[in-house]
Amino acid sequence: MPPCQAANSQDDLCPASVPGIARAIIRFAEEILTEDGQDVADILKQLKTAALRQTHDAHRAPGAQSARTTDV
């Protein structure tokens, strides 16, 4: 029997269900990534900004290759 296939299989507390997985990810972000005074949205904005900055810097670096993957 697959995990959480018992009577309460539709319960969002089941980690094998989609809502259960989403809640586990949110709890991870809240417990591990946040600091006092921050919420998950603040952290995600900071991570997005850092990723965009790294991408921009990588494309400007000498010898950087184009991201194009198809021929024109």
Report pLDDT digits (tens) over 16-51: 788 888 888 888 888 887 888 888 888 889 889 999
Q: State CA 43 to chain mean position distance.
A: 11
Q: How far is CA 36 from the centre of its chain?
A: 20
What is the model's pTM?
0.47
pLDDT of residue 31: 86
Residue with tokens 């029997």: 1
Instruction: Give the residue, 30 or 63, on which the prediction is more confident.
Output: 30
In order, the DSSP letters of 42-58 are: HHHHHHHHHHHHHHHHH
Q: What is the mean pLDDT of residues 2-19?
A: 60
Using an 8 Å Cβ cutoff, are 55 and 49 in contact?
A: no
pLDDT reported for residue 53:
94
HSE, CB side, 13 Å, CA atoms: give it for residue 30.
Answer: 6
